[in-house]
Amino acid sequence: MKAVSLFSGAGGMDLGFINAGCKILAAYDNMQPMVDTYNKNIGGASRLDLSTCDFSTIAEKLGFGDSLDLLIGGPPCQGFTSAGTRFWDDPRNSLVRNYADALRHLCPRWFVMENVEGILTTAKGVYLYEAVKRMVELGYSVFIRKIYMQEYGVPQRRKRVIIVGNREGKPYHFPLPTTPASGQIYRDSAVTLRNAIEDLQDVEDVELDQVPQWETGIKLKRMEMLKPGQTMKDLPEALQHESFKRRAHRRVMDGTPSAKRGGAPSGLKRLVYDEPCLTITSAAPSEFVHPVRNRTLTVRECARIQTFPDDYKFHGTKRERILQIGNAVPPRFACILAESILKSDQEEPSLEPGLVYYDLSKASARSSSLARTERMLEQLKNTQLQLDI
């Protein structure tokens, strides 16, 4: 398959699709360190402001016509929206608007859009609803699922929303888990942190960004006290960070105690070797304590947990490199996802274009926010069925 990548970042999704046999013809991101990383490891990326670019011009320049197989990548969910007809005019929604414009002008047979779990309920579901509605209007059948990455060989408890679209009426089947997880927040899994990084615990290698930052003073005392699975709240009060104690007792503007809104921030966290890691974010190297060493994770350990190969080089400052890693789609999962699309592409068309299929949670119970989003998607699905009739 020939593909174009948007919001390509460090290239995690693209690397997985390449490993599955796809060819990336062009890639775009608006952050120079990410473009530098992409070009050092994959090549073919250009810096582009995806909130303001003109995709009709880009489509003409690339010259695909209607022959593009695949568009991959996903606009970051900005958390802003306006209701009703103003949604697409609101400049704060420019990223999702331009993603829809890319679909209209590049006209790929398939697309893959990845996003954080929060897109399911952002702006009371309006953000996802409007995006999917536009995809349907462009003639795509849309398939939505919340994915638990530890079920696909990724050693971390990472939840993401994957949206796949096809404009030829071909049915799509999300890949079955390769390592099913169960238990409290799906900790029980054959994919563990130990398998991912144990061989790196005593390695120091500048070329792999594998230089542990050994701690001293009160931070070392905190780490020494933390047992696997414990966080700052498990420490004696004298060792808790002042900012943590302030936040732990704050009340939000509506007067609800923070303890009833998911609890206080946990600060330092001692990881557990024989479970999947917590979700790797840009804060991981400052907050995640190694399971058996009194230090935080290194950039290379974070990359391992995200399933990047050790010879993958990240460019920019340490902060920029960990941002690239934390934002990436794990290449191991991306490869499995790509293989599922390649398999579905071999099937004969059997669906009416423009339908919506979704699976937003493994849990039987639904929060009121998620239930509202499902009702909106069901309404959209029913509307399209009535139009087909």
Q: Where in the chain is the domain with CATH 3.90.120?
A: 184-327
pTM, full prediction: 0.90
For residue 188, report the phi and psi dihedrals to the nearest 5 degrees.
Answer: -75, 105
Tell me the C-alpha to C-alpha distance, in Å, between residue 374 and each of 97, 115, 364: 22, 17, 13
Q: CA 339 to CA 153: how far, in whole Å? A: 15
Q: Which fold has domain 184-327?
A: DNA Methylase; Chain A, domain 2 (3.90.120)
Chosen CATH of 2-182+331-388 out of 3.40.50.720, 3.40.50.150, 3.10.330.10, 3.30.390.30: 3.40.50.150
Note down pLDDT in tens along the chain; length 389 residues: 999 999 999 999 999 999 999 999 999 999 999 999 999 999 999 999 998 899 999 888 888 777 899 999 988 877 777 766 688 888 888 888 899 999 999 999 999 999 999 999 988 889 999 999 999 999 999 999 999 999 999 999 999 999 999 999 999 999 999 988 888 777 888 899 999 999 988 776 666 677 666 677 888 999 999 999 999 889 998 888 776 656 555 544 444 444 444 444 568 999 999 999 999 999 998 899 999 999 999 999 999 999 999 999 999 998 999 999 999 999 999 999 999 999 999 999 998 767 899 999 888 788 899 999 999 999 888 776 555 43
Helix (H) or strand (E) holding 334: helix 331-344
* CA 280 distance to own-chain centroid: 10
Cross-strand pairs, 161: 115, 146
Catalytically active residues are 77
Delimiting residues of CATH 3.40.50.150 domain(s) in the chain: 2-182+331-388
3-state secondary structure of 239: helix
- The confidence score (pLDDT) of residue 258 equals 44
